[in-house]
A = this chain, B = another copy of it.
Amino acid sequence: YGMKERGREEFVKSELGSLNPVNWTVSDVVSYFTSAGFPEQALAFRTQEIDGKSLLLMQRNDVLTGLSIRLGPALKIYERHVKVLQRTHFEEDD
């Protein structure tokens, strides 16, 4: 059952992998935030030309003040999405 375990682990990894934004275009970023429940804020990512690689470089303050979006959604976008996507990406790198 060791292999079964490993199989499941790899499946989880590849699932998470599909959320690794490193190769996302700007449109992929917009789609992601639209599906995540932030259709209005998603447009700001297009305006600021943020693709997956740029998304991985964003810090808290960039999301809060660099996108010109309302503070409430910005706080959630950073905490629940940008931070989580970055963590997933950097864990995969290990």
Contact = CB atoms under 8 A, between A and B. Distances in A.
B48 A76 contact: no
Given A48-B72, A72-B26, A64 B64 contact: no
Q: How many copies, total?
A: 5
A39 to B, nearest CB: 14
A62 B48 contact: no
A54 B53 CA distance: 26
18 contacts: A48-B70, A48-B71, A48-B72, A49-B71, A49-B72, A49-B73, A50-B71, A50-B72, A51-B72, A53-B76, A54-B71, A54-B75, A57-B75, A57-B76, A57-B79, A62-B64, A62-B71, A65-B66
